[in-house]
Amino acid sequence: MSVTEDTVLSFARGHRLQQDRVRDLWLVQAPEKAFIIEGAAPHILGLVDGERTVGTIIEVLTEQFSAPREVISTDVLALLSDLTEKGVLRA
C-alpha cells in the first residue's frame, strides 16, 4: 500500500520505538534485531500512535521545527513509506 497524508499508521506487533539511554541513541526494536534511527526519524516515529493521520504528523513537525511544510512532508512520507514497506509500521 502507499502511504498518503490521510493514512493512519501504527507500529506492527513486535516492533517499537525505544530510547537507549546507555548508548544515547534511538532505535526500533524488531523481531531478533534492533536498528538505530537518527536525525528527524525519532521525532517522526514518536508521533506515530495509531490515531494521528500522516498529515497531522506533518503539521505538528512543521510547527515544532518552523520549517517549510513541503520539506517536512517529503521527509515524513519517505520515512513512513519505507518503514511500512518493511513491515515495521502498518496502516
Partner 1 sequence: MTLPQPPMSLLAELTHRCPLACPYCSNPLDLERKAAELDTAGWRRVLEQAAEMGVLQVHFSGGEPMARSDLVELVTLARKLNLYTNLITSGVLLDASKLEALDKAGLDHIQLSFQDVTTEGAERIGGLKGAQERKLKAARLIQESGIPMTLNFVVHRENVARIPQMFELARELKAGRVEIAHTQYYGWGLKNRDALLPSREQLEESTRSVEAERAKGGLAIDYVTPDYHADRPKPCMGGWGQRFVNISPSGRVLPCHAAEIIPNVTFPNVRDESLADIWNNSHLFNMFRGTEWMPEACRACDRREIDWGGCRCQALALTGDAANMDPVCSQSPFHEQIVKIADNNGVPKDTLFYRRF
Residues contacting partner 1: total by CB under 8 A: 14
68 belongs to the binding site for partner 1 (CB under 8 A) = no
Say which residue the cell 515544532 belongs to.
64
37 belongs to the binding site for partner 1 (CB under 8 A) = no
50 belongs to the binding site for partner 1 (CB under 8 A) = no
Exposed/middle/buried for residue 43 (C-beta within 10 Å: 0-12, 13-18, 19+): middle
38 belongs to the binding site for partner 1 (CB under 8 A) = no
CB neighbour list of residue 14: distance below 8 Å, 6 or more residues apart: 30, 31
Cα dihedral 81, 43, 10, 4, rounded to 10, equals: -40
31 belongs to the binding site for partner 1 (CB under 8 A) = yes
Instruction: Using the minimum distance from each CB to partner 1, give the nearer residue, 35 or 65.
Output: 35
18 belongs to the binding site for partner 1 (CB under 8 A) = yes
